Amino acid sequence: MKIAQHISQLLYRYQCVMVPGFGAFLTETQSAQMQQGTHTFFPPKKLLSFNAQIKNNDGLLANYIARHENISYEEAVVMIQHEVAIWQSMLDTNQAVTLNNIGFLSLNDDHNIVFSPNTQKNYLAESFGLSAVNVEAIERIAVENLLAASEQPNTVFERKVEVVQDEVAETPVIAMDTQKRRPYLHYAAVLVLALAVTGSVGYNFFQTQVAAETLQVQNEVQREVRAKIQEATFFIENPIPSVTLNVRDTKMPYHVVAGAFRNVENADKIFQKLSDAGYKSKKLEVNNFGLTPVIYGSFSSYTEAYKLMKTIQKTDNPDAWLLIKEL
């Protein structure tokens, strides 16, 4: 579609892009989200929607097309009207209108336009380059359970040492005659020495095992402490109270336009007429097309400006339109 790429570019900068005679594409900022099932973090984004009830011409799309296509404003309006006629013809024949990077439009059973946005496109400029991030869940084991598990092997080694020591204590008690004891004393001494060496080796092994398990417990405790610190980094139970500063927003980008005049005298007459009628009228600077716009007033809220425009169109000037521009 010819004007789809221009609409796509404007969605990065504006919350509302109107297509005269057809509808408006609206955006709403959504904060970062986390999907619990897959542990996936999604960056902030703009949610895109469509409202077929807003069909007036605010001049935004036509001016943008005229500037980038190097054509006049009137030619841009004609281009938009021609494109809208093609869209409407496709919808009337039950064909879907596909807009690149935006989504597609179709009619439901009640002949109402249904918009399906392109969820892969993020129009939030602040999130440019950010993508979804997958993380793994952290399994935590209580330190008390680790300590309880580490104490069990120590008990077994202590029992083994006690058995060896009991055997060493009982072995020298041998009842035999004095003349026949000497041949056996040699073997008894060897047995005692072997048992003593065995007890010493078992005790050293026990000490080594205790030291290794103590080091393991210390490492587990350190990992637990690091996990607690990391958890505290993301979840603060008693955060510092936020301080709200009321800063007056002086930006008023929404303007209700009475008309744009090539003759400066005509612009002065309309400006004086609106001022006498009580409007906060202004004459804007000459635009790229050599026209001097005269506005009823400027507003910081789109809703307020749109409401005034509809009232003026019904009572005074049916050609009034809405200009969205930061002056």
Name the DSSP letter for residue 289. Answer: T
What's the pLDDT band for 51 if we cut at 50, 70, 90? very high
Q: What is the CA radius of gyration of the chain?
A: 42
% of residues, the chain, pLDDT over 90: 19
Tokens 């996936």: give the residue: 40
**Residue 261's closest CA among 220, 301, 303, 292?**
292
In the predicted model, is pLDDT for residue 221 greater than 70?
A: no
User: 59: exposed, middle or buried (C-beta count within 10 Å: 0-12, 13-18, 19+)?
Assistant: buried
CA distance 44 to 125: 10
CA distance 133 to 135: 7
**Nearest-5° angle of CA 1, CA 9, CA 125?**
145
| Diameter of the chain measured on Cα atoms | 146
Instruction: Report pLDDT for 188.
Output: 60
pLDDT digits (tens, 9 = 90+) for 64-120: 999 888 999 998 898 898 889 898 889 888 889 999 888 989 989 888 899 999 887
**Residue 27's closest CA among 8, 7, 11?**
11
Instruction: Report pLDDT for 215.
Output: 65
What's the pLDDT band for 295 if we cut at 50, 70, 90? very high
CA distance 245 to 6: 37
pLDDT digits (tens, 9 = 90+) for 176-204: 444 444 555 555 655 656 565 555 555 55
Which residues fall within 8 angstroms of residue 124, CB to CB, at 6 or more apart? 29, 43, 44, 45, 46
CA distance 298 to 325: 10
